[in-house]
Structure 1
Amino acid sequence: MAKFDGANVEDYGRIAEVLDPFGQSLCGLLKQIALNSGIRVHSIVYRVKAYESAAAKVAKSPDKYTGIEALTDMLGVRVITYFADEVDAIAELVESEFAVDFENSVDKRALLDPDRFGYLSRHYILSLNSVREGLPEYSRFKGEIFELQIRSILQHAWAEVEHDLGYKSQASLPGGMKRQFSRLAGLLELADEQFADLRDRSVQYSRQVQADMALHPESLGIDQVTVGNFVIGNELLRSLDSQLAVMMKRTVLEEGKNEPYNAHQASNLVAVGIRNLEQLAEELESNYSLILDFGREWISPEGSKAKSVPRGVSLYYLVMVKVVQMSEAEARRVIESSKLPESEWLGEKNLLSRAFAKYECVLEKRAEETS
């Protein structure tokens, strides 16, 4: 491990040159470790302690630190999870993937009395394990030590606000503010628990939706989860998606569920009167050929540089078709009273007038074909 000569600036510069790329490498490694275990973290960041801060820490505790080389937090890495229970999940991965200095590592949650609230976090002093040190991409970091903090996003919010207010402990708080601090910290802990509960309920709901889709589609209302499952499992929709994508000269994006897109389409479907999955399937089937005909009129392959379209793009065209099947006055009322974006339909993009014009072209061509 690289050494400092006391608080020598030049030595600090040399070690910082190693720690900075080490921090970058660790962020990528930790992200991949989490993803491989199915955990999506909010952020992973690192910092190399500033020279002034390092020197001040050594000067403050000369009996504890013989020099800057004795500091275990010269490189600090922070993992912020979305949920509190993921802190322990990440901690288990860390203990299996790195060499841990357990003597100097601490679970700050265990330091709080049961009736006290405050900053909660897992802190580890780590280095690469022997296997990873032997890999060419990590060999230059052999023996380097770093500090890792793991906390939830709400725990992070608490720590950041507490730090900004300048109070380092409950003892430093003015008497009248201690209770207010504890109440706020308790609310954040409760929120952490409730968010985790909402996540678990969402997973259970998604599983129930998958089980009910084939047997009871009429019982499943239109929302982000039901639309997401419908988009993946309905063969008619997949066929429509593929044909529309060909018209656009693009491919269909298959990378899992697109929650924002599904949520947007769910809102649009409800706005045009589609209330459950059974009705959605019926509307797709009854409007199948009209969606394709409308798509041929509407789509301009040169209109966008995008290389792909989201799975479920046919729902966008189903909504368009449902709108133009109304009278123009009725369509305007629906747009003005629903969640359909007025800025697109009635404003600058003026989708409504364009959609009715394209629909007229569809009707004219159909009439010519049957005459």
Structure 2
Amino acid sequence: MKTHWPSIVAPVVALLSVPAFSQIDLIAAATPIGMRIVASVALIAVLFAAISAAVHHAEEIAHRVGEPYGTLILTIAVTVIEVALIATSMVGDHPKPALARDTVFAVIMIVCNGLVGLCIVLGGLRYREQGFRAKGVAAYLIVLMPLSVLTLILPNFTTPVGPIYSVAQLTFVGIAVLALYFVFLFIQTIQHRDYFADLSDQDSPIGSAAFDRRMMTNLGMLLVALIAVILLSKQFALLAEAVTAAADAPEGMVGIAVALLILMPEGVAAVRAARSNRLQQSLNLALGSSLATIGLTIPVIAAVSIFTKQNLLLGLEGKDMVLLVLTLIVAALTFGTGRTNILSGFVHLVLFATYVFLTLLP
């Protein structure tokens, strides 16, 4: 197999560019506007190239180790990027206590409505109906529902004051969320891994990877790419905030921008799988992202919040709670039969459009 040189070069270039970007203030008025524009475009290009390279190497590793470990590796790689983007913003000069909530909610809405809806519609237009393993998707949903409520709805109804958990409450919720996610991983990777295999692969054994030179290269480049993205994430978060403020857009758009950046390469992989009539793989990527977003991001962000003694605003506003609950109900109905068509996909796309519209015009 030929070496995919862009995926080798991109992480190295991104890592080497970190010192240059750290010397340029992308939002300071004293920085010439031309330099700010060029640097901003370059930052986004370098970030996207590094993220794409990370996903490529994760997919290469996934191909070697087989399902369900394949999509799990890709999901965790993307979640590491998300945690870095949120954590670096929380400990900056201008803390953003609502960024974690906005980003986690944005990921759930983008994945469970936008990405899932697009995959179902594209697959339905091509194949009329597509099948998946209902037991596997049910496992995702039965964990996603309590995780969503514990982290995004329940904080509004706690004492002494919501939508912020006390230190004790935040500690308990962080541990509970992490425990739920690890139990899910046990089900996915050990006890019932057949629930998450693609329907066309039901007789295929789980892959095993030989740690040869190519495998080690993929692992090394994945690590380099993730480190580069983590180091560049703070600059991107500042840029997204500045653009949102300049456009007089709601603060929730920052969370959408961050979520779109980290989900774009993974979304491409999910859409490609759906168009190849591998809907189960698409759902593993999409729903797995939602679970990892809450199950891994919230505990880490909670720990950062407690350690830095900064408030972590988690509870959603009323309209967002309604959208979240409606999304979970529709998802349960969509995936209850083991078959999908364009109607259910279109419903999810309408919910996603509603979310974006109400974020812009609350």
Give TM-score, length-normalised by structure 1: 0.23
Which of the two has greater strand per residue? Answer: 1
TM-score by length of 2: 0.23
CA radius of gyration, larger in: 1
Which of the two has greater helix per residue?
2
